[in-house]
A = this chain, B = another copy of it.
């Protein structure tokens, strides 16, 4: 593609387009067609564990009932299919967030939630606080509204903050890309920071259900509801999705927040694409009401085993000086190479020379990039392939470090 500012002869593009970049991950996903590659790149759920039969049965049941079929194919309300909003209000309550359907907006996956929240809260040039590194999809959604990023300080305080950020974006559980989680004390510190600055938090809850070890921790929104007496008193916006627990192409997610925020987000949803597919919402509801718990239990078991295999392989094959996270859930392990090494170079050589797809860590930093990092996703590869991929990566790292290979 030609890199000029002009999209076609004589077409002037909006200023916001200048900063747009593609997602390295999405680009790498195109490699999926190439079978010989071992994919530690995209954070995709493994399609081998999609609940195909229950979804097929849900579809058949919808189309067998003429009233349901017409509802499924007609425009849904912009705020969402009412029974699914109702179900999600109960689900959020079960996670410690007492709420009503007026606190829920259905979105096309949690990615659309981030697009709508960016429109709601970001003026061009306004500061937005992010963890470093941060989920690329969130950054891409925010970028379109042209924020100025500021990094969340490691001590979670407001030290050095001169202007109140419009919000801070956080992934409390097994977050993309590092796999790390916030402790309970850190969650409380963030709520203190939010209160001190009167700053909303945007909580990405998409991995909340994918815990493999340890105990569930309450979401930031649940803790804030307990502090404030209810969701209507909270400044937090929570995004959730069925993409990681049921299947991504249902494209059904949600935002939970105080009802005046949801009311504005509904207008933005209407402007964005009128409504999420009623058919997809009805399928999601049928599964949520039925097999969600067993589907979650199944993928937890699979991904726990894959995580363990990859952690064991890293211990076996990575030379001294390389560090990695040990996530309690989610889909990702984050590698930190010795200072001075280039994760981008490692990712390129791993793909081209060794048939292993990964994502260089620098892509996850819009500011203050640490190029000696790499993200590995363990969701898509069976344990044997993961061990082989990590063995190849270990040899390549040794080669790049100038360490003699140990066989």
A residues sitting closer than 8 Å to B (CB atoms) are: 1-2, 4, 6-17, 20-23, 26, 29-30, 44-45, 47-48, 50, 52-53, 55-56, 59-60, 63-64, 66, 69-78, 107-109, 111-112, 115, 119-124, 126, 137, 140-141, 143-145, 166, 198, 200, 232-235, 243, 247-251, 257-261, 263-264, 266-268, 270-280
Q: Which of B45, B72, B111, B260 contacts A7 (CB 8 A)?
A: B260
In the complex, residue of chain B having the shortest beta-carbon distance to the beta carbon of A164:
B12
Q: Which of B77, B235, B249 contacts A73 (CB 8 A)?
A: B249
In the complex, residue of chain B having the shortest beta-carbon distance to the beta carbon of A278:
B249
Across the interface, do A264 and B20 meet the contact criterion of CB distance under 8 Å? Answer: yes
Across the interface, do B14 and A145 meet the contact criterion of CB distance under 8 Å? Answer: yes
Across the interface, do B271 and A144 meet the contact criterion of CB distance under 8 Å? Answer: yes
Beyond the given A20-B264, A59-B63, A75-B243, please list 6 additional residue pairs across the A-B interface where CB-CB is below 8 A.
Answer: A10-B235, A14-B166, A17-B119, A56-B63, A109-B274, A115-B273
Across the interface, do B270 and A120 meet the contact criterion of CB distance under 8 Å? Answer: no
Contact (A264, B9) CB under 8 Å given A66-B52, A277-B250: no
Contact (A250, B73) CB under 8 Å given A52-B63, A119-B144: yes
Q: List, in ascending order, chain B residues with CB within 8 A of A1's CB.
A: 259-260, 263
Q: How far is the CB of A194 from chain B (nearest CB, A)?
A: 9
7 A-B pairs in the complex with CB atoms less than 8 angstroms apart: A8-B233, A8-B257, A11-B121, A15-B123, A59-B63, A115-B273, A141-B272
Cα–Cα, bound, A70→B248 (Å): 10
Q: Which of B13, B69, B72, B275 contacts A121 (CB 8 A)?
A: B13
Q: List, in ascending order, chain B residues with CB within 8 A of A251's CB.
A: 273, 275-277, 280
Q: How far is the CB of A241 from chain B (nearest CB, A)?
A: 11
Q: Which of B7, B70, B250 contacts A264 (CB 8 A)?
A: B7
A63, A74, A248, A263 pick with most chain B CB within 10 angstroms: A74
In the complex, residue of chain B having the shortest beta-carbon distance to the beta carbon of A265:
B7
Across the interface, do B248 and A73 meet the contact criterion of CB distance under 8 Å? Answer: yes
Contact (A30, B233) CB under 8 Å given A249-B278, A264-B7, A268-B20: no
Cα–Cα, bound, A276→B248 (Å): 10
Cα–Cα, bound, A141→B116 (Å): 12
Cα–Cα, bound, A268→B21 (Å): 9
Across the interface, do A14 and B111 meet the contact criterion of CB distance under 8 Å? Answer: no
Q: How far is the CB of A188 from chain B (nearest CB, A)?
A: 19
Across the interface, do B75 and A29 meet the contact criterion of CB distance under 8 Å? Answer: yes
Q: List, in ascending order, chain B residues with CB within 8 A of A74's CB.
A: 44-45, 47, 50, 247-249
Q: How far is the CB of A124 from chain B (nearest CB, A)?
A: 7
A26, A145, A234, A276 pick with most chain B CB within 10 angstroms: A26
Across the interface, do A264 and B52 meet the contact criterion of CB distance under 8 Å? Answer: no
Of all A-B residue pairs in the complex, the 10 with the closest CB atoms, nearest first, are A56-B63, A47-B70, A73-B247, A8-B258, A112-B273, A140-B271, A10-B198, A108-B273, A7-B261, A249-B278
Q: List, in ascending order, chain B residues with CB within 8 A of A120's CB.
A: 7, 13-14, 17
In the complex, residue of chain B having the shortest beta-carbon distance to the beta carbon of A43:
B75
A6, A143, A248 pick with most chain B CB within 10 angstroms: A248
Cα–Cα, bound, A13→B271 (Å): 17
Q: How far is the CB of A66 from chain B (nearest CB, A)?
A: 7
Q: How far is the CB of A277 from chain B (nearest CB, A)?
A: 4
Q: How far is the CB of A295 from chain B (nearest CB, A)?
A: 12
